[in-house]
Amino acid sequence: GQNIDQPTEMTATEGAIVQINCTYQTSGFNGLFWYQQHAGEAPTFLSYNVLDGLEEKGRFSSFLSRSKGYSYLLLKELQMKDSASYLCAVSLKLTGGGNKLTFGTGTQLKVEL
Amino acid sequence: DTGVSQNPRHKITKRGQNVTFRCDPISEHNRLYWYRQTLGQGPEFLTYFQNEAQLEKSRLLSDRFSAERPKGSFSTLEIQRTEQGDSAMYLCASSPSGRALLGTGELFFGEGSRLTVL
């Protein structure tokens, strides 16, 4: 089975840095995705890690430790528009090569002035 | 717009009625997925197509749910005899494969079809 944990809510200040943690226990692993979802909108891809270490992409970075079953998403220079839900998802490979994503419940980030 | 398109965006129905949702994936994507999302939860996997073949279905998917992708392009998700517990956002996603796969294999989601069962 799959078990993915992330905090339900976080609050941070505009211009600051925030780290959203995700821990997982899964049978099988083909990478970990982070998605952003604004209320009423589609989830949009932020990052993907399959090997241990840090992936940096502009203001967003994501880290993975497979041995610890742990990932985090780091958001720098927070902007008001970063207020959204951040979804951690573990991938399993499907027949035919697709990715089956199992999502956590999401972390609702609120950015305040 | 070349993103994933879903219709209708909103559907309100009475318990016991049948509903059908349509998904048009990104044109060069041959992999298509259906997910369901309820308030405060992450999306939950329902089913997966590679071209027209349905290769995986969630064990959580009751026999009232059926999905098709007859020509390997658009897909439909039908829910028969709807129940109040079916109220959710139904998300479709697509991803490329083969020579079109230049990225991480991430899923591209549509904006969803919101179902309310009264």
B29-74 pLDDT, tens per residue?
999 999 999 999 999 999 999 999 999 999 878 899 999 999 889 9
**pLDDT score of B61:** 84
Residue A37, phi-psi category: left (phi > 0), alpha (psi -120 to 50), beta (remainder): beta
Which residues in chain B are closer than 8 Å to A106, comparing Cβ atoms? 40-42
Residue recorded with tokens 């959710």? B88
Q: Which of A101, A107, A108 to mutate to test the interface with B (most CBs of B within 10 A)?
A: A101
Per-residue pLDDT tens digits for A39-56 = 989 999 999 999 999 999
Q: How far is A79 from chain B (nearest CA, A)?
A: 23
**pLDDT score of A18:** 98
User: What is the rounded average pLDDT of the residues A13-34?
Assistant: 94
Nearest chain A residue (CA) to B10: A40
Nearest to B115 by CA among B30, B46, B12: B12
- pLDDT grade for A77, boundaries at 50, 70 and 90: very high
Please say whether the beta carbons of B21 and B113 come within 8 A.
yes
Token duo for residue A72: 């985090």
Do residue A42 and residue B91 have CB atoms under 8 angstroms apart? yes
User: Burial level of B81, CB count in 10 A (0-12/13-18/19+)?
Assistant: exposed
Do residue A94 and residue B55 have CB atoms under 8 angstroms apart? yes
Task: Examine the pLDDT at B103 and tell me if it is beyond 70.
Answer: no
- pLDDT grade for A99, boundaries at 50, 70 and 90: confident
Nearest chain B residue (CA) to A40: B111
- pLDDT grade for B88, boundaries at 50, 70 and 90: very high
Task: Examine the pLDDT at B108 and tell me if it is beyond 70.
Answer: yes
Q: How far is B73 from chain A (nearest CA, A)?
A: 16
Rounded Cα gap, residues B41 and B88, in angstroms: 10
- pLDDT grade for A70, boundaries at 50, 70 and 90: very high
Name which of B44, B53, B95 is nearest A99 (Cβ-Cβ): B95
- pLDDT grade for B1, boundaries at 50, 70 and 90: low
Task: Examine the pLDDT at A90 and tell me if it is beyond 70.
Answer: yes
Task: Examine the pLDDT at A60 and tell me if it is beyond 70.
Answer: yes
Nearest chain A residue (CA) to B31: A98
Task: Examine the pLDDT at B76 and tell me if it is beyond 60.
Answer: yes
